[in-house]
Chain A
Amino acid sequence: GDSVTQMEGPVTLSEEAFLTINCTYTATGYPSLFWYVQYPGEGLQLLLKATKADDKGSNKGFEATYRKETTSFHLEKGSVQVSDSAVYFCALIKAAGNKLTFGGGTRVLVKP
């Protein structure tokens, strides 16, 4: 079945450091890929998405590129802030699919 694997946390960084969270997936066909973020005490929020190979999703300084050859969708941000402390989830949905398949989440803690 479909699956998403992301690096385990917690990831602890200093403010203004570079962040990368690895995400790889297993799925047949051409899924759409997503990053969701969950801030403390809040629900899941869509951060960015990519719907086909080589697409780059971006939002709030975060970027991720859909790499079909490596089945990856790594999340990056060049300079993190304390407010970026959250749990980040990589997810996929099959074309015209009905359900998101999530990775296990990566907790990020940014220290001032």
Chain B
Amino acid sequence: DTGVSQDPRHKITKRGQNVTFRCDPISEHNRLYWYRQTLGQGPEFLTYFQNEAQLEKSRLLSDRFSAERPKGSFSTLEIQRTEQGDSAMYLCASSPSFRDGSYEQYFGPGTRLTVT
């Protein structure tokens, strides 16, 4: 069990550029989640996948954001035309099937995005 991995760990980009982040979940976890965490705040839910299907999206996920999980394994989160307000830590989590009455979510180290 190698844990959830995310790439890159840090990204600095200029306003207006597009960025893409990757998340590799724990193998055999069929659920994958994206969250955003701004400085001094708790993570906020963005979207989640069950296998390759994107089943829920937050209102925080504007039209400039798109997420995919094409083969039900890794996922990508793309932000188009970045804005300074997009600067945050983007967290990925995965979970196995329902166990012990809840879906435990295991988090990756995050990708810190800075938009200049």
Contact = CB atoms under 8 A, between A and B. Distances in A.
B43 A51 contact: no
A99 B56 contact: yes
Interface string B41-62: 1111100100000011010000
B65 to A, nearest CB: 16
A43 B109 contact: yes
Interface residues of B, number: 28
B100 A51 contact: yes
Interface residues of A, number: 25
Given A32-B102, A51-B100, A43 B45 contact: no
Contacts of B21: none
Interface in B87-110: 91, 93, 98, 100-110
Interface of B: 4, 31, 33, 35, 40-45, 48, 55-56, 58, 91, 93, 98, 100-110
6 contacts: A44-B91, A93-B102, A98-B33, A98-B56, A103-B42, A105-B42
